[in-house]
Chains A and B, each alone.
Chain A
Amino acid sequence: MSKVSDFFAEFVRRNGATISVYLFTAVIFWIAVLIVLPQLYMLDFSFRFNLPPSKIGTEEDVHTLKNYKYLLFGAEGNPNAFNWLHLEVFFRTIWAAVLVTILNLVICYPVAYYMTQVISGGKARIFILCLILPFWINEILRAFAFRILFGLNGPINFALVHLGIVPEPVEFIKADIALYTGLAYAYMLLMIFPLYNAIESLDHNQIDAARDLGSPWWRIHWRVVIPHAKPGIASGCTMVFMLTAGALAAPQILGGPSSLWFTQVIYQWFYTGGNWPQGAAYAFVLLTACIVFVLTMMRIFRVSLGEIAK
């Protein structure tokens, strides 16, 4: 305990009383009121019944596992053993997010490598600027652009039909092709930059040495560049997975009529279903999935949280 009070004494001596008050008020407000308490309330809320406001706080307002049971087994009297409708949406969302993440890594790795090795100086800056530009345009408009691109009368279908490759326009949106392409596009920047930063710190001599010793290009990447880029890969994959699994705009705009994203189910509980505790339970399940993913990445790539946030 004395250690803690020593810390405070030292802190106030170093920063002065006024500044110390500002620093602590700001950070405690942030951590308590904006981060921790809302999450705890959401967790608590997810274990409660869906009551009208007048009954909240009465003896009817008790904890229950009902909302989680619903996700697993469905409403009472459900003929199936499990609530396949929602479980399937959940697992498909996670699986699709993993695929989109891998796709992103495969697309972005060569570009990041190209940026670090081939270009430099002013050229690199313009290159980076060109990368960033499309991402200043908000997510919804980007998704809209993909809707135009993949529409039934869109340019791709126009080209395919006129070149005689397909007899009739392809329903890209129904087949979720538009959704996956749009999702991969949406968070590309968060894959490229961590990769770029990681690869950039690699000494080019190491690559030259490997090449001089007769290593083919794929082995140079496999044994030299990729091991060095590990923190960047972990960081990029974590961010892209989290954003993809938690995406709402792209699935709403690009998703086919038959394919729901898990966030859309959550959204429905809040807006059309009018069952907030149920939605909170679903949200908490999604959050848990994301935490598990982050921890797995940290384990696989042996990186710390700090390295992921870089």
Chain B
Amino acid sequence: MSSTALTRMMTLFYVGLFFTYLFGPLVLMGISAFNTEKYPTAIPYSGFTFEWFNKLFSDKDLVRGVLNSLIIGVGVVLLSVPIGLAAAIIMSQLHKRARSIYYAVVLSPMLTPGVIIGISTLVFWDRLGTAFDADWDTFFYDGIFLSILGQTSFISTFCMLIFIARLQRFDRAQEEAALDLGASHLRVFFRILIPFLRPAVFAAIVLAFLTSFENYNTTVFTIVSESTLTTVLAGKVRLGTDPSISALAVLIILITLVGATAIELRKRAEEKRIAAQLAAEKGL
């Protein structure tokens, strides 16, 4: 018996260690955001300050980067969610052999390093622009446009996987019944399929936006002369030295915590409702 107790202790110790690794660096970064030291550090702690947050909001480059990131994020959502949905529907209707080839192609962006997606997008549009003799201010050379396309190329795969998972549980009999009763295909699509997929649509939108917002590897190549939050940040971090970066991290952590708690509470409420419903049905 004592050996199982020992194993248990060791496991707990390991898990504790693991979470220290996971959260330790973030906690230290958090502390450095409120430290008066000029260089971002948690130790020595020389006094509490909000100075770095003020500095953060007055940083024009950063604000501009965030705005561009938001625009790109919205663009990516608008493209990648419909593409992912279409790709998932086609996947569900393909026959066996065609399906495996198709799957390999649409999965490939996920297994391609982000820098390569960025480079290929940049090169492709640059060459097209040259071929059409386009001016420098046309969309061929526009950082925002290229970033949206580059990111969409792999984020669509993520969206597709979400839709495939949900579609596997879809009962096609519903569609057929509606068609037999004289509904048009469009009506079936918007009244049956889309409502069934709503949770997946929601998940895909959130995932697509966040992935886009965070992306660096692809964007750093496609952004050309513009900037996004991540490219501005990377420049600052490489120079190395300003606790206002920590302050930004604290803000992002706070937003994340609030969002995650909200999602968790919603899930709980939903589960309670379903449980209550089941109990009521059993009672009948």
Interface residues of A (CB under 8 A from B): 7, 11, 14-19, 22-24, 26-27, 29-31, 33-39, 41-42, 45, 53, 56-57, 107, 110-111, 114, 118, 125-126, 129-134, 136-149, 151, 153-155, 158, 185, 188, 217, 238-239, 242-243, 245-249, 252-253, 263, 266-267, 270, 276, 279-280, 283-284, 286-287, 290, 294, 304-306, 308-309
Contact = CB atoms under 8 A, between A and B. Distances in A.
Residue with the greatest number of chain B CB neighbours at <10 A, chosen from A7, A129, A145, A286: A145
Given A141-B245, A290-B113, 13 more contacts: A7-B95, A42-B124, A118-B11, A133-B257, A144-B237, A145-B249, A148-B246, A149-B24, A151-B41, A246-B217, A280-B119, A286-B115, A306-B103
Contacts of B237: 140-141, 143-144, 147, 253
A231 to B, nearest CB: 15
State the majority secondary structure of interface residues on A.
Answer: helix
Interface size class of B (residues with CB under 8 A): 35 or more
13 contacts: A23-B89, A34-B109, A35-B106, A129-B260, A130-B22, A133-B257, A144-B29, A153-B41, A239-B111, A246-B217, A266-B119, A279-B119, A309-B111
A44 B100 CA distance: 27
Interface in B81-136: 82-83, 85-87, 89-90, 93, 95, 98, 100, 103-117, 119-124, 126-127, 130-131
B39 A38 contact: no
A248 B105 contact: no
A243 to B, nearest CB: 7
B53 to A, nearest CB: 15
B252 interface: yes
State the majority secondary structure of interface residues on B.
Answer: helix
A283 B186 CA distance: 44
Contacts of A34: 109, 121, 149, 152-153, 156
